[in-house]
Amino acid sequence: MVAEGVGPSVEAAAVVALRLKAATSWWDVVNESPAWQDRIFHVLAALYGIVAVVAL
d(CA 43, CA 20): 28
User: Tell me, what's the pLDDT at 55?
Assistant: 95
Q: Which of 19, 18, 40, 16 is nearest to 29 (CA)?
A: 40
Q: Give pTM, 2 decimals.
A: 0.53
pLDDT of 25 over the 70 cut: yes
d(CA 14, CA 49): 46
Mean pLDDT of the region 11-36: 81
User: Tell me, what's the pLDDT at 14?
Assistant: 78
**Sequence letter at residue 44:** L
**Sequence letter at residue 2:** V
Q: Do 2 and 8 meet the contact criterion of CB atoms below 8 Å apart?
A: yes
